[in-house]
Amino acid sequence: MSQAAALVFILIVASCITAPLYAEHVAGTGPNDEHVTKKIEQDGEQVDVVAPDGKPIGPTWGKEYFMGADNLGRDVMVRILYGGRNSLLVGLSAAVITLVLSILAGLLAGYFRGGVDRMISGLFDVMWSFPVLLFGIALGTALAIGGLNFWFIHLESGSIWIPTIVIGVVYVPYLGRTLRGQVLSLREKEFVEAAVAQGMGSPRIMFSEILPNLASTLLVFSTLIVANNILLETALSYLGAGIRPPEPSWGNLIADGADRIVTAPHLTLAPGLATVLTVLALNLFGDGLRDALNPRAKVRLR
The interface region with another protein, picked from 30-38, 52-60, 109-117, 232-240 by CB under 8 A, is 232-240
Binding to another protein by residue 132, rule CB under 8 A? yes
DSSP assignment letter at 113 = -
Q: Beta strands 153-155 and 39-42: pairing type?
A: unpaired
Q: Of 110, 81, 113, which is closest to residue 17 (Cα–Cα)? A: 81
Q: What are the angstrom distances between the C-alpha of 139 and each of 21, 119, 142, 163?
A: 36, 22, 5, 9
250, 80 contact by CB (below 8 A): yes
Q: Which is nearer to another protein, 43 or 53 (CB)?
A: 53
- 57/45 Cα distance (integer angstroms): 13
Spell out, one character per residue from 134 to 173, where the chain touches another protein: x when CB under 8 A holds, - when not.
x--xxx-xxx-xxxxx-------x----------------
Residue 185 within binding range of another protein, rule CB under 8 A:
no
Q: Which H/E stretch holds residue 278?
A: helix 266-293
Of 125, 202, 208, 293, the one binding another protein (CB under 8 A) is 125
- Of 39-47, 94-102, 207-215, 259-267, the segment contacting another protein by CB under 8 A is 259-267
Instruction: Indicate the residue among 39 and 118 with the shorter CB distance to another protein.
Output: 118
Distance, in Å, from the CA atom of 289 to the CA atom of 268, rounded to the nearest integer, reads 32
Nearer to another protein, 18 or 263 (CB): 263
Selected from 17, 126, 194, 293, the binder of another protein by CB under 8 A is 126
DSSP string, 29-44: S-TT---TT-EEEETT
CB of 7 to another protein, least distance (A): 16
Please pick, from the candidates 11, 42, 265, 293, the single residue that binds another protein as defined by CB under 8 A: 265
Measured from the CB atom, the residue of 30 and 272 that comes closer to another protein is 272
Dihedral of CA atoms 95, 255, 286, 220 in degrees, nearest 10, equals: 20
Residue 25 makes contact with another protein by CB under 8 A: no
C-alpha span between 205 and 191 (Å, rounded): 10
d(Cα 220, Cα 285) in Å, to the nearest integer? 9
- Among 167, 206, 210, 227, the residue binding another protein under the rule CB under 8 A is 227
Q: Are 210 and 107 in contact (CB under 8 A)?
A: yes
Q: 267-296 mask for another protein (x: CB under 8 A)?
A: -xx--x--xx--xx--xx--x--------x
The footprint of another protein (CB under 8 A) covers 122, 125-126, 128-134, 137-139, 141-143, 145-149, 157, 227, 231, 234-235, 238-241, 251, 254, 258, 261-262, 265, 268-269, 272, 275-276, 279-280, 283-284, 287, 296, 298, 300, 302
